[in-house]
Structures are given as C-alpha cells and as structure tokens.
Amino acid sequence: MADHLPQSEITGWLLAGGEGRRVGGVNKGLQLYQGQALASWVIRALQAQVGTLHINANRDLERYGQLLQAASAQGQVWPDAVDINASLGPLAGILTGLRQAATPWLMVAACDTPALPSTLVTQLHQQALSHHADIAVPVTQDADGETRHHWTCALIHARTRPSLESALAQGERRVGQWIKSCTWIGVSFNDPAAFININTPETLHGPA
C-alpha cells in the first residue's frame, strides 16, 4: 500500500442539497458561519485532500459555483439526477456523485461540517485498503462515551453504485442503513469536535 494519498483517485463530493429544515428552510450551506459561508469551510477542509471537488446542490447552483471559483476548486455544481427522487435525501446526492465521479473513490461530506480534519481522507483511504472495505466512515466517542458514526462523511468506492441504485429503488432513505449493507469499516478519530454539525440556528449564530 502506498504511503501517500493518491488524490487523483478521489473525488470530493460536498452534499448541499438538503432542505434546511432545522434552520428554517434556508439554504444552509450558504449561511454565514464565523464570517464565511458554511460550505466554504468544508470546501477548504477537503480541497487539499482530493483531486477534484464538486458540490451537490438543488438550489442556488450559481452561488455554490461562485464558492468553488473563489476557492480555485477544480469542480462544478451538480443537482440530483433527474431520475432520482430528491425526497430520498442524502442518498440521492451520493448516488448522483457515484454516477458523475470519474475516480474509483468518492469522498462525501455534508455542507454543515466546517471543522473536518486535515488527515480525514488519508486515514479513511488507508483503512479502507487495509481492510478491503468499499466504504470507510469516521467514528468518534462523545464525552459520555457514546460511539457516533458520521455516516454522511464517508469515503465510498465506485463499485457500490449498483447496491445504492437498488437500495434507492426500494425506497431506502437512511445513509447508515445502506452503508451497513455494504462492506464497510469504521475508522476512529480522536476529536469529536472535528465532525461537529452546524444544523441549528443556535450553532450557526450562537445563542440569542
């Protein structure tokens, strides 16, 4: 196994296609967090770790494109494929990514995770190869000892696409449930704060 990360084999895929229900229906990835659009933090975190970085969004496509351009990211904005029911949530975006990516691996991350670690992709890739897994998912321990799997932050191999096509056709909506049906591995990370989700007005802006 190579010691370095083969970035050219990995496409970054930022999930920004949600409805933003927890933040009043606004486009969450475009909301300001510490002075910058939330999605910009994720773009910056992933950009150096992947070969190409795209955004999956179903509204405000031009604005997301501007965020990529501002970061000099070599990618584009893709809405969910027209034949996929967008109400199926993140899995619809992931399948769109697996269809569009020209690389063996797709690194999926949500637009509300601004603190992703700089070693994220390297660690997931190494463990996936070591354990012959098709999907690698970060795992952390909360302060109370509870184990948390970060299902929408996953390194996914292109060969899982038929499995996901089938799962979506059967109406599956749960990312974790689909991942558990594949050959997958959980990869431990020490800092739970690196995977924080900014998904409420309080976490976005601070207490009123």
pLDDT by residue (tens digit) across 78-109? Answer: 999 999 887 789 999 999 999 999 999 999 99
In 3D space, the residue among 187, 191, 109 whose CA is nearest the CA of residue 154 turns out to be 109
Rounded to the nearest 5°, which phi and psi values hold at 167? -60, -45
Q: Which fold has domain 7-205?
A: Spore Coat Polysaccharide Biosynthesis Protein SpsA; Chain A (3.90.550)
Percent of the chain with pLDDT over 90: 79
Of 49, 40, 46, nearest in space to 67 by CA: 40
Residues sharing a CB contact under 8 Å with residue 145, sequence separation 6 or more, in sequence order: none
**In 29-46, which positions are buried (b, 16+ CB within 10 angstroms) versus exposed (e)?**
bbbebeeebbbbbbbebb
Domain ranges for the chain: 7-205
Cα dihedral across residues 164, 170, 176, 178: positive or negative: negative
Q: How far is 75 from 24, CA to CA, in rounded Å?
A: 29
Position 23 confidence tier, pLDDT thresholds 50, 70, 90: very low
Indicate if the pLDDT at residue 19 is higher than 90: no
Q: What is the pLDDT of residue 3?
A: 45
pTM value > 0.85: yes
For the stretch 111-147, pLDDT in tens is 999 999 999 999 999 999 999 999 999 999 998 889 9
